[in-house]
Amino acid sequence: MNTLTVHLAEKSYPIFLGPVAESGPSLDRFCAGRNVLFAADSNTRAWQRPVLDLIEKSAMHLECFTFPAGEASKTIDTVLRMIEQASRANFGRDALFIAFGGGVCGDMTGFAAAIYMRGIPFIQIPTSLLAMVDSSIGGKTAVDTVFGKNLIGAFHQPLAVYIDTDFLKTLPERQFRNGMAEIIKAGVLGAPELYRMLKQTSMEKLRADRTLLETAVFQACDLKRRIVEQDECETHSSIRVRLNYGHTFGHAVELLSGFSLNHGESVAIGMDMAAQYAFEEGLCSREFLLSQRGLLQRYGFDLNAGNGLSPEEILRAMFHDKKNRHGKIRVILPESVGTVLVQEIPDPKKLEMFLRKYLAEVRS
């Protein structure tokens, strides 16, 4: 089993990469003598029993909370139902919440833990590739509103993260691809070896080769760990915010699609938009633009999937992005593999013109 540590002083925590069953003593240690609420989405039923057996060995009392899988469940109402169940069971501040599922489950359970009794501990056990390499690490917790993704939330670091790639064996191909967008993003941001490896392999090979897959997951997690350690709560203007590469465009596309496009598909489109904008601004080379575009297409992303949207709609949605400051849109733009920058766009008309041109080229 490989272990990474997110070093955040008294909030430091381990990331275990390997079979959860082999981490039983550690999971037992965290659950020992506690009231535990186990939150899971409906897609994970086949994998729950072995994990529940581990928890039941040492937990004082166990509550199970299950909700329908999918972004539509990521609401304050679901969080309140989770909290109400914990309250009815008389859970106090020494309780423990465990998130077992994809990013929606982790984000919501973490947020519920952040606000219940003014903050109780929680553990992340991600079951999707996207959650393993992205949302389970770093302490960002949130729910969506009608105005955009993750607009109600808090920073709340987990006690531990357990990453078991065996859970991915039953993950549908589309959902596996969903996570590949974040792995490709990690390669662009600051893991050149990962980027080169991804160019030399394929999604089919990654799924078939556990060692190769764990290497990719490990490197993506390590990149995120290093960035989070430098800027835990995204207080520096150009450090942790880099992890949002592709997200300013991508979240707008995802929201406007009514979530018919998933997060990874939308981020892939957002990364392509960001690279195209950077190229037109003279920030990155054509070679980089085409290299990243080719890599995204190699892993099956349809970069034309957002072509039914209008530039005006995308621009309006981008104004609700959390990274914006003083009413101005901020985007993360690439210069090369391993180098990105944060740029404020003071003139929305310029961005609208770019979007109009980009979408016209996509449709042609």
Q: Hey, which residues are catalytic here?
A: 118, 140, 182, 224, 234, 240, 244, 247, 251, 263
Interatomic CA distance for residues 125 and 131, integer angstroms = 9
Look-up of token digits 């509103």: 145
Which among 123, 18, 140 is positioned nearest to 74, based on CA atoms? 140
Q: Which amino acid is at 205?
A: K
Interatomic CA distance for residues 62 and 41, integer angstroms = 17
Interatomic CA distance for residues 332 and 341, integer angstroms = 6
Helix (H, G, I), strand (E, B) or coil at 167: helix
Token output for 182:
């974040």
8-state DSSP, 214: H
Q: What angle do CA 170, 171, 175 make, to 5 degrees?
A: 170
Contact 341, 359 (CB under 8 A): no
Contact 329, 348 (CB under 8 A): yes
Interatomic CA distance for residues 276 and 280, integer angstroms = 6
Q: Which residues, other chains included, contact 173 with Cβ-Cβ below 8 Å and sequence gap of 6+?
A: 203
22: left (phi over 0), alpha (psi -120 to 50) or beta: alpha
Interatomic CA distance for residues 234 and 265, integer angstroms = 24
Contact 164, 19 (CB under 8 A): yes
Q: Which residues, other chains included, contact 10 with Cβ-Cβ below 8 Å and sequence gap of 6+?
A: none
Token output for 122:
């929680």
